[in-house]
């Protein structure tokens, strides 16, 4: 949309030209089925293989450790259900956090109903998870630790690199799953230093298109499939590969700017925005100081999130009132952080990309100033 | 063999000289709900409406689903039509009833002979048809008191009809026979149910929705349209007026004492609705209020809102518990949509301690703090209309 100021890059991102062109080329010219034996099928397979290569390069892992799925949620479900099945002889205990994305929490809740014991690590008031609590939560009979690298609502960075040590101390054989949907492309990820066994990423959060995600599965782990059928993706994920979306995934990864450079650029935008927000005496920043700069969660006290969101929409500014997956409901992440109703009900999430400009931030701040003309919410 | 749909009128049969008007309205509604499914002949005789597809491959299941939602129908069923000759009837009934009879163990046959020229009496027809079925389906037994299925053979003036069982219709009166009324709809659970209940008695529906952007969103408007399209499956097309309400709401919030906010807002809604109703020929207003459900629905509060209009205000769910309302909303498939969590015009400005025992005088005094008349008239003038369903 022309003139749109898109400050909701954790919900999704604008596909980069490279991704859009790669997808279009796959749709128009390489529409073969990668499983077909003739050369035209092989051409489609080549697209998938080279996208796999790009992702492996970025994650510093082997190509045969990358499995394509349809989205981040599918990667998470596959990882969680697969991991507990593999560890079923070692115990029935799972460790996760209370601020995971619903695509992690819901599968785990399902397992809880089926008899698994789950420890949910609680965040502090800044959205951080403590390493000590993590260490004391894991047990010899823990079979899975699932933790997000970056929280999608407040941007806090979780101590995922400490999981391995914690498990070793308790001589637990638990598998480590890291949901990197909000971290991939924004923070340098090295699967071996993280000690990850399973790791989820998604294409449309990094300027790819919707319809492709991937799961890293460490070599040697024989994860059982979640979707069965024709045996694609070495049997882990049957179903004809979404070649256009995968082509765009590969192209988007290849087109990512240098991570450190982009991080610095976005940090400047984040600082600029935080400074600008100081003029409002009713703004409280909910994101912790050490959060990723890509996400800035704030409360505009006295005004309801949804009202503000639609008010900003009139100036063609897109922000989120929580995560896009929980539209309308008060944020459980903020509640878990122990924030009071007035802050939860007036929360907005801004999320930036390397392409966000200070002009866009200025436009946001100007529009927000106009919001004081709205009727204050008297109820709280 | 020709298959048809038979429809039995409900209460209509009891009407006197007006009966034709009611039947005409019913046939019109049936025609309009079946529109697009394929060409049919619709005829009526002896308080039964017959739908006869002109071509093979008529989508009977879809058609029955739609007929199920037409008010004014007591019962309906699929039936085979055949020549009025007992040998033909006996020959056709065996294969036609195969599906229906395979899943049951007991049955009985009822024969109705309205064509008295037919040479056999009803008991004779029943006996012959029952015999033919027993001979061909060995698992069946006759049970005249508690049969699992009743096979009916009707010998009418036009033809003989064979059917197994029949379905309950939606009951009520045909929409279009009871005048027009306007439902005030916010997007909650109650108002679609109230609208449906009034349509059931033959009322043609208009709808009025109050939108307060940016306090409410386009999604809330879409939700209302989705709800109305569900109701429209029963009521036929609904004319929806969307009233721009932001300015009036903001002014009330600014000028009036907080605890009267909801009451004044509802009084303004009633004033606007009455004017819209007068323009469109609606004879009454309908709301989804139920006594005591929220602060603005106490009896004193309802009295203060009714006081500003001269039209009757119908509240068909007034004496129902939430559970009972929800049960209907599930039945008419509006529940899942109603609970989608978007802000609507009633939630944003809610006072902390609303008045539950207001008097008309108190409301008048609170309203006198600003000149609402131009704002009410502007809202009426700027209302945008569209048709749903």
B249: which chain A residues are within 8 Å (Cβ-Cβ)?
375
pLDDT score recorded for residue B344:
61
The Cα of B173 is separated from the nearest Cα of chain A by a number of Å equal to 39
Assign residue A303 the CATH number of its domain.
3.90.1150.10
Which residue range(s) make up the domain with B203?
A: 180-388
Question: Angle CA(B188)–CA(B189)–CA(B195) in degrees, nearest 5?
Answer: 100
Would an 8 Å CB–CB cutoff place A132 in contact with chain B?
A: no
Assign residue B74 the CATH number of its domain.
3.30.2130.30
Work out the pLDDT band at B352, boundaries 50, 70, 90.
confident
Task: Write down the catalytic residue from A61, A71, A180, A325.
Answer: A325
C-alpha atoms less than 13 angstroms from C-alpha of B160 in its C-beta half-sphere: 27
Q: Compute the average pLDDT of residues B1-29.
A: 84
One domain for residues A278 and A225:
no
A310: which chain B residues are within 8 Å (Cβ-Cβ)?
213-217
In the predicted structure, residue A242 carries a pLDDT above the cut 70: yes
Work out the pLDDT band at B15, boundaries 50, 70, 90.
confident
Residue A206 lies in a domain: yes
Work out the pLDDT band at B346, boundaries 50, 70, 90.
low
Tokens of A380: 């709280």
Please give the residue of chain B at the shortest CA–CA distance from A380.
B352
Q: Compute the average pLDDT of residues A214-233.
A: 96
DSSP one-letter string for B179-245:
-EEEEE--SSSHHHHHHHHHHHBTPEEEEEEEE-TTTS-HHHHHHHHHHHHHHHHHH--EEEEEEE-
Residue A380 lies in a domain: no
Give the Cα separation of B216 and A307 in Å (integer): 7
Our answer to whether residue A273 is catalytic in this structure is no
Q: Compute the average pLDDT of residues A338-354.
A: 93
**Burial letters B205-243, b for 16+ CB under 10 A, else e:** bbbbbbbbbbbbbebbbebbbbbbbbbbbbbbebbbbbb
Residue matched to tokens 């009128």: B9
Q: Compute the average pLDDT of residues B347-371.
A: 87
One domain for residues B322 and B344:
yes
pLDDT score recorded for residue A326:
45
Would an 8 Å CB–CB cutoff place A272 in contact with chain B?
A: no
CA torsion, ordered A241, A243, A247, A252, to nearest 10 deg: -60
Number of domains observed in the structure of chain B: 2
In the predicted structure, residue A350 carries a pLDDT above the cut 90: yes
The shortest CB-CB distance from A306 to any of B217, B258, B351 is to B217
One domain for residues B184 and B273:
yes
Residue A75 lies in a domain: yes
- A304, A315, A378, A380: best to mutate for the B interface, most B CBs within 10 A: A378
Number of domains observed in the structure of chain A: 2
CA distances from A379 to A267, A363, B234, B350, B363 (A): 36, 29, 38, 6, 21
B349: which chain A residues are within 8 Å (Cβ-Cβ)?
375, 377-378
One domain for residues B74 and B143:
yes
One domain for residues A158 and A125:
yes
Q: Compute the average pLDDT of residues B162-180.
A: 93
The shortest CB-CB distance from B213 to any of A304, A310, A328 is to A310
Q: Note the Cα B13 to chain centre separation in Å.
A: 20
One domain for residues A146 and A98:
yes
Tokens of B289: 């209020």
One domain for residues B326 and B302:
yes
Given an 8 Å threshold on Cβ–Cβ distance, is B341 in contact with A328?
yes
E strand map for chain B: 2-9, 40-45, 48-53, 73-82, 106-113, 141-142, 149-155, 160-164, 167-171, 180-184, 204-211, 238-244, 284-286, 313-314, 384-388
B338: which chain A residues are within 8 Å (Cβ-Cβ)?
none
- B213, B215, B245, B254: best to mutate for the A interface, most A CBs within 10 A: B215
One domain for residues B162 and B202:
no
Would an 8 Å CB–CB cutoff place A365 in contact with chain B?
A: no
The shortest CB-CB distance from B342 to any of A311, A328, A374 is to A328
Work out the pLDDT band at B348, boundaries 50, 70, 90.
low
Assign residue B363 the CATH number of its domain.
3.40.50.620
One domain for residues B98 and B145:
yes
One domain for residues A226 and A333:
no
B250: which chain A residues are within 8 Å (Cβ-Cβ)?
375
Q: Which of A255, A290, A308 is the last residue of a domain?
A: A255
One domain for residues A271 and A250:
no
Q: Compute the average pLDDT of residues B39-67.
A: 91
Would an 8 Å CB–CB cutoff place A3 in contact with chain B?
A: no
In the predicted structure, residue B11 carries a pLDDT above the cut 90: no
A314: which chain B residues are within 8 Å (Cβ-Cβ)?
213-214
One domain for residues B136 and B24:
yes
Give the Cα separation of A215 and B267 in Å (integer): 58
Please give the residue of chain A at the shortest CA–CA distance from B345.
A307
Residue A50 lies in a domain: yes
Q: Taking Cα atoms as reference points, which of B235, B346, B233, B238 lies closest to residue B288?
A: B346
Q: Compute the average pLDDT of residues B28-33.
A: 94
One domain for residues B137 and B225:
no
Residue A378 lies in a domain: no
Residue matched to tokens 């063609």: A316
For the ranges A17-26, A94-103, B20-29, B233-242, the lowest mean pLDDT is seen at B20-29
In the predicted structure, residue B14 carries a pLDDT above the cut 90: no
Q: What is the number of residues in chain B?
A: 389
Given an 8 Å threshold on Cβ–Cβ distance, is B214 in contact with A328?
no
One domain for residues A81 and A161:
yes
Work out the pLDDT band at A208, boundaries 50, 70, 90.
very high
Assign residue A42 the CATH number of its domain.
3.40.640.10
Give the Cα separation of A267 and A188 in Å (integer): 15
Q: Which of A255, A273, A293 is the last residue of a domain?
A: A255
The answer to whether the beta carbons of residues B228 and B388 sit under 8 Å apart is: yes
The answer to whether the beta carbons of residues A141 and A162 sit under 8 Å apart is: no
One domain for residues A94 and A33:
yes
One domain for residues A65 and A205:
yes
CA distances from B365 to A369, B251, B359, B360, B371 (A): 34, 15, 10, 9, 12
What is the C-alpha R_g of chain B?
27
Tokens of A375: 């009727």
**Burial letters A163-172, b for 16+ CB under 10 A, else e:** bbebbeebeb
One domain for residues B158 and B213:
no
One domain for residues B325 and B190:
yes
**Burial letters B354-375, b for 16+ CB under 10 A, else e:** bbbebeeebbeebbeeeebeeb
Residue A379 lies in a domain: no
Q: Compute the average pLDDT of residues B109-114.
A: 92
One domain for residues B219 and B337:
yes
pLDDT score recorded for residue A76:
98
- B259, B343, B346, B350: best to mutate for the A interface, most A CBs within 10 A: B343
Would an 8 Å CB–CB cutoff place A328 in contact with chain B?
A: yes
Tokens of A302: 């006295």
One domain for residues A340 and A263:
yes
Given an 8 Å threshold on Cβ–Cβ distance, is A329 in contact with B249?
no
Q: Compute the average pLDDT of residues B120-143.
A: 93
The shortest CB-CB distance from B343 to any of A306, A375, A378 is to A306
What's B362's DSSP letter?
H
The Cα of B262 is separated from the nearest Cα of chain A by a number of Å equal to 12
Q: Which residues of B touch A (CB under 8 A)?
A: 213-217, 249-250, 253-254, 258, 340-343, 348-352
Q: What is the number of residues in chain A?
A: 380
Give the Cα separation of A292 and A277 in Å (integer): 18
The answer to whether the beta carbons of residues B311 and B323 sit under 8 Å apart is: no
One domain for residues B157 and B213:
no
Tokens of A318: 């897109």
Which residue range(s) make up the domain with A331?
A: 5-13+257-373
The Cα of B254 is separated from the nearest Cα of chain A by a number of Å equal to 8
One domain for residues A213 and A315:
no
The shortest CB-CB distance from A329 to any of B249, B250, B341 is to B341
Q: Which of residues 140-179 of A touch B (CB under 8 A)?
A: none
Residue A331 lies in a domain: yes
pLDDT score recorded for residue A324:
46
CA distances from B25 to A107, A159, B12, B19, B236 (A): 53, 70, 11, 10, 12
pLDDT above 70 as % of chain B = 98
One domain for residues A290 and A246:
no
Given an 8 Å threshold on Cβ–Cβ distance, is A304 in contact with B348?
yes
Given an 8 Å threshold on Cβ–Cβ distance, is B352 in contact with A378?
yes
The Cα of A309 is separated from the nearest Cα of chain B by a number of Å equal to 8
Q: Taking Cα atoms as reference points, which of A140, A139, A97 lies closest to residue A122?
A: A97
Give the Cα separation of B169 and B10 in Å (integer): 8
Adjacent-strand bridge partners of B313? B285
Count of CB pairs separated by less than 8 Å, A with B: 48
Residue matched to tokens 């509240």: B315
B187: which chain A residues are within 8 Å (Cβ-Cβ)?
none
Work out the pLDDT band at A163, boundaries 50, 70, 90.
very high
One domain for residues A217 and A78:
yes
Tokens of A344: 């939860």
Given an 8 Å threshold on Cβ–Cβ distance, is B249 in contact with A375?
yes
Q: Taking Cα atoms as reference points, which of B184, B188, B345, B341 lies closest to residue B253?
A: B345
Tokens of B274: 């009455």
A309: which chain B residues are within 8 Å (Cβ-Cβ)?
214, 217
Q: Which of A255, A276, A307 is the last residue of a domain?
A: A255
- A244-295 pLDDT per residue, tens: 999 999 999 999 999 999 999 999 999 999 999 999 999 999 999 999 999 9
Give the Cα separation of B77 and B67 in Å (integer): 10
The Cα of B222 is separated from the nearest Cα of chain A by a number of Å equal to 15
At B343 the three-state DSSP class reads coil
Given an 8 Å threshold on Cβ–Cβ distance, is A313 in contact with B253?
no
The average confidence (pLDDT) of chain A is 94
């Amino acid at each position: 949309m022309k003139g749109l100021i898109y400050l909701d890059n954790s919900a999704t991102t604008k596909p980069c030209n490279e991704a859009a062109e790669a997808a279009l080329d796959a749709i128009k010219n390489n529409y073969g089925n990668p499983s077909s034996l003739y050369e035209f099928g092989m051409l489609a397979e080549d697209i998938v293989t080279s996208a796999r290569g790009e992702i492996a390069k970025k994650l510093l892992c082997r190509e045969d450790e990358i499995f394509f799925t349809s989205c981040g949620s599918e990667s998470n479900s596959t990882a969680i259900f697969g991991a507990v099945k593999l560890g079923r002889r070692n115990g029935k205990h799972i460790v996760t956090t209370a601020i995971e994305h619903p695509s992690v929490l819901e599968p785990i809740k399902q397992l809880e109903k089926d008899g698994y014991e789950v420890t949910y690590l609680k965040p502090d008031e800044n959205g951080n998870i403590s390493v000590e609590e993590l260490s004391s939560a894991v047990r010899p009979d823990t079979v899975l630790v699932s933790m997000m690298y970056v929280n999608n609502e407040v941007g806090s960075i979780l101590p995922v690199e400490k999981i391995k040590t914690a498990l070793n101390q308790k001589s637990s054989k638990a598998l480590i799953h890291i949901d990197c949907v909000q971290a991939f492309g924004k923070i340098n990820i090295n699967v071996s230093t993280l000690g990850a066994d399973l790791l989820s990423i998604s294409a449309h959060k990094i300027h790819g298109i919707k319809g492709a995600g991937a799961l890293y599965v460490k070599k040697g782990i024989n994860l059982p499939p979640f979707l069965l059928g024709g045996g694609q993706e070495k049997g882990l994920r049957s179903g004809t590969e979404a070649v256009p979306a995968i082509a765009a995934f590969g192209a988007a990864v290849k087109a990512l700017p240098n991570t450190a450079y982009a991080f610095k650029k976005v940090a400047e935008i984040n600082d600029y925005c935080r400074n600008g927000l100081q003029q409002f005496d009713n703004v409280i920043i909910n994101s912790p100081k050490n959060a990723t700069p890509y996400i800035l969660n704030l409360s505009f006290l006295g005004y309801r999130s949804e009202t503000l969101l639609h008010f900003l929409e009139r100036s063609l500014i897109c922000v989120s009132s929580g995560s896009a997956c929980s539209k309308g409901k008060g944020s459980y992440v903020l509640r878990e952080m122990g924030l009071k109703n007035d802050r939860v009900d007036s929360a907005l999430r801004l999320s930036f990309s390397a392409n966000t400009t200070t002009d866009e931030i200025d436009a946001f701040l100007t529009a927000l100033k106009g919001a004081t003309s709205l009727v204050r919410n008297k109820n709280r | 063999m020709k298959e048809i749909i038979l429809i039995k009128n409900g209460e209509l049969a009891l009407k006197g000289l007006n009966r034709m008007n009611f039947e005409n309205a019913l046939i019109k509604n049936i025609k309009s709900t079946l529109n697009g499914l394929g060409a049919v002949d619709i005829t009526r005789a002896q308080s039964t409406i017959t739908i006869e597809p002109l071509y093979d491959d008529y989508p009977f299941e879809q058609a029955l689903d739609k007929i199920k939602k037409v008010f004014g129908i007591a019962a309906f069923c699929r039936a085979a039509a055949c020549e009025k000759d007992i040998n033909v009837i006996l020959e056709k009934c065996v294969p036609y009833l195969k599906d229906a009879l395979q899943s049951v163990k007991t049955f009985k046959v009822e024969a109705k002979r309205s064509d008295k020229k037919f040479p056999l009496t009803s008991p004779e027809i029943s006996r012959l048809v029952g015999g033919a079925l027993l001979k061909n389906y060995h698992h069946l037994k006759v049970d005249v008191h508690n049969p699992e299925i009743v096979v009916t053979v009707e010998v009418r003036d036009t033809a003989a009809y064979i059917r197994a069982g029949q379905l309950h219709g939606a009951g009520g009166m045909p929409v279009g026979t009871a005048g027009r009324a306007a439902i005030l709809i916010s997007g909650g659970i109650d108002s679609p149910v109230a609208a449906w209940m009034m349509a059931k008695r033959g009322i043609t529906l208009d709808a009025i929705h109050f939108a307060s952007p940016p306090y409410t969103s386009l999604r809330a408007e879409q939700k209302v349209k989705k709800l109305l399209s569900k109701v429209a499956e029963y009521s036929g097309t609904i004319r929806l007026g969307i009233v721009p309400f932001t300015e009036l709401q903001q002014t009330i919030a600014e000028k009036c004492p907080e605890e009267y906010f909801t009451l004044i807002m509802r009084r303004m809604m009633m004033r606007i609705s009455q004017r819209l109703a007068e323009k469109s020929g609606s004879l009454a207003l309908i709301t989804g209020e139920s006594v005591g459900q929220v602060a603005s629905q106490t009896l004193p509060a309802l009295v203060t809102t009714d006081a500003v209009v001269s039209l009757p205000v119908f509240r068909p769910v007034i004496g129902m518990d939430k559970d009972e309302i929800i049960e209907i909303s599930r039945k008419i498939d509006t529940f899942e949509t109603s609970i989608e969590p978007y802000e609507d015009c009633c939630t944003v400005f809610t006072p902390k301690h609303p008045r539950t025992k207001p008097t008309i005088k108190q409301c008048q005094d609170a309203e006198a703090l600003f000149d609402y008349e131009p704002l009410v008239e502007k809202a009426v003038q700027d209302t945008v209309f569209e048709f749903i369903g």
